[in-house]
Amino acid sequence: MLELRNVTAAYGQDEVLSGIDLTLNAGEAVALIGESGTGKTTLGHAIMGLCEGVVQGSILFKGKNLLSLDNEAMRKLRWNEIGLVFQNVNNVLNPVYRVIDQVVEPMVVHGLKGKREALLRAGKILEEVGLARNRFVFYPHQLSGGEQQRVLLAMAIANDPELLILDEPLAALDEVAKIQLIPFLLKLNRVRKITLLVLTHDIATAVRLSDRLGSLYGGRVLELGPSESVARLPRHPYTRALIRSYPNITTSKDLQGIKGRLARPVSGCPFHPRCTQAIEICSTQVPRLKDYEGRIVACHRGGVIPLMRAVELTKDFNGCRAVDCVTLTIYGGETLALVGPSGSGKTTLARMLMKFLPPTSGRIYLEDQELRQNCGFSSRVQMIFQNPGESLSHRLTVLDLVSEPLEVAGRLSKEERRQKALQLIAEVQLPQDQTLIQKHPHELSGGELQRVAIARSLALDPDLLIADEPTSALDPSIQAKVLKLLLHIQENRGLSIFFITHDIAVARKISDRIAVMHEGRIVEEGLTSQIITAPEHPCTKALVTSAPSLEKVQKNGVETADAFSVGASEVAKSAVDPL
């Protein structure tokens, strides 16, 4: 129905849209999400022929190229066939007309209806969009922002358009009002078969309103696919970052912004300066939209990369199986938490991934390359140990400790190492003064020690941090700070974290996905929100129920003990029979 081919739009030198390719089928609802300034509004205006800049390319609406139509033809099309719900900024409504008259206007102007008829219909529509009757005759300034938005919606659908473009349709409404309006908009789409193009930064609205969801950045579509699947498992780093920074009720991980700021690079993928997995080609060539398993993604790397893959990894210690056929993928830029009771093989798995232990069988791939001894591995994967007091040599000063990895790598001069070490110390939010950097580990507190350990692990700019119970030796307030620091570093550097913990409550706050390990096997794996709210395996259930909680305190312990006995009996079983 609507087909955009290589649409560009520019205001003078400023290119806002740089080659949009998008097809909307009749009756379909498509949503595009993106930050402010990524070209959403310009796109809507360009389709409506309202864009003040220079629009090029072709916008085919039912076979006609809208860009080649003259003003008159476009005017006929506008409101009748294509409606636009304006974003309620800068008072789009005319302040000197009553709102009902403004809804009547498009019907009368286009000569579709008589005045009376139009008024009746306007009243009906306004009622449908949820405006109180007594407000129909108000002037716009007498209405709240939400009510104005409803009026704008009523105007857009007054002439029964076939395509409705919604530009931040619900941004001015509160959540409850949104929920009320969404079924109405869906009805427009499902019952009246109006094609919807939703442009918004409100991801939840976008998902609810659309069949297909896409992300828009730097005037390009970066990802497009079925709404729910995109929202659950975004493939493009930008879509994922956007979703990660969006507060919703089920995600438990702390919000993370997107590093850097919105700016248009001269060449290459528009997102590459902020991307967590950019490689050289990203800054020189624009990626084309390609099909990856039912998802269209514009990324040279095919979307979020699987950074490390363990395939059927097994480790035996003297006939006792510590890790049993574990297959696991750690994606670029994500936090995967490995949760499990003590003795479930978590540390052994981590040690195999770190190459400290050779696996009995199975393979480990780092970005599709099988691991071999010492080929730049240490600059890709680093470890944070459980007890910082042990992982830091007591003989060295903070400065020496932090510059040690650089010394091993041997690329920098002494002074450069010092400078880099100071940067790292600042990055982990430790004071850079002389007294601290000359201190020895035994003079530092637990939190400071773990920060030093984190600074060390970052020295070689790794892509993956394997953190083995990094906060279990710390008290809660310091643990909170260290976890926040880790998330902050992840946001800035875009590194992946493989976070090992026995505490599912900690995992919940820091991870995107959780894998639950029990008796050497991964028994459950999924999105953190899903695992926490609907655990399936008995062991996961036991972990979730026995996790620390201040609300569900069971003084007599009946409920928790009951739930725990499932896991406990299995643990007991494993104690009797190790295989």
Partner 1 sequence: MHVSIRGAFRKNRFGHIGLILLAGITLLALLAAVIAPTDPHLQTRQSFEPPSASHILGTNHVGQDNWSRLVHGARTSLLVGFLVACAATLISALLGVSCALTGGLYDGIMMRLVDALIIIPAIIILILIFAYVKPDIHFIIMSIALFSWAGGARILRAQTLSLKERAHIWAARSFGGNNWYVMRRHIVPDLSPILVVEFIHAFRRGVFVEAGLAFLGIGDPTTVSWGTIMRNAVEYSYMNVWSWWLLPAGLALSIAILSLTFIAHTLEPIMEPRLREEASA
By CB under 8 A, name the binding residues for partner 1.
354, 356, 374, 377-379, 381-383, 385-387, 390-395, 404-405, 408-409, 442, 453, 456-457, 459-460
| Least spacing, CB of residue 399 vs partner 1, in Å | 15
Q: What b/e sequence results for 222-238 when a residue is b if at least 16 CB atoms lie within 10 Å of its CB, and e otherwise?
A: bbbbebeebbebbbbbb
d(CA 213, CA 484): 31
CB of 266 to partner 1, least distance (A): 36
Q: In which residue are the tokens 């990094």 written?
A: 470
Total residue length of the chain: 579
Name the minimum Å distance from CB 408 to partner 1: 4
Residue closer to partner 1 by CB (options 186, 396) is 396
Query: Which of 51, 307 has the CB closer to partner 1?
Result: 307
Q: Which amino acid is at 34?
A: G
Distance CA 192, CA 81 (A): 13
CB of 460 to partner 1, least distance (A): 7
Which of 352/459 has CB closer to partner 1?
459
> Distance between CA atoms of 78 and 51, rounded to whole angstroms?
13
Q: At its nearest, how many Å lie between partner 1 and the CB of residue 391?
A: 4
The minimum distance between CB 353 and partner 1, in angstroms, equals 11
CB closer to partner 1, 446 vs 538? 446
Asked whether the beta carbons of 211 and 224 are under 8 A apart, the reply is: no
Report the residue number, 98 or 355, with the smaller CB distance to partner 1: 355
Q: How far is the CB of 350 from partner 1 (least distance, A)?
A: 11
Residues linked to residue 381 through DSSP beta bridges, in sequence order: 464
- Do 161 and 77 form a contact (C-beta atoms < 8 A)? no
Nearer to partner 1, 71 or 374 (CB): 374
Q: How far apart are CB 541 and partner 1 at their closest, in Å?
A: 33
Name which of 3 and 404 has its Cβ closer to partner 1. 404
Give me the least distance between CB of 458 and partner 1, in Å please. 11
Strands of 361-366's sheet in order across: 320-331, 306-317, 361-366, 369-370
CA distances from 204 to 153, 171, 276 (A): 19, 11, 24
CB of 205 closer than 8 Å to CB of 196: no
Nearest to 469 by CA among 430, 496, 498: 498
Output the six-digit token pair for 2. Answer: 């609507």
Strand-pair partners of 2:
24, 61
Shortest separation between residue 40's beta carbon and partner 1, angstroms: 45
Nearer to partner 1, 282 or 392 (CB): 392
| Rounded Cα gap, residues 495 and 463, in angstroms | 5
Enter the tokens of residue 217. Answer: 């950045």
Question: Which CB, 128 or 404, lies closer to partner 1?
Answer: 404
Is the separation of the CB atoms in 92 and 150 below 8 Å?
no
Return d(Cα 491, Cα 469) in angstroms, integer. Answer: 20
Q: With the CA atoms of 481, 483, 484 and 489 taken in that order, what torsion angle do they form, in degrees rounded to the nearest 10? A: 120
Pick 271 or 385: Cβ nearer partner 1:
385
Six-digit token pair at 17? 């849209």
Please identify, using beta-carbon distances, which residue of 11 and 356 lies nearer to partner 1: 356
List of E strands, 263-317: 289-292, 295-298, 306-317
Shortest distance, position 231 Cβ to partner 1, whole Å: 36
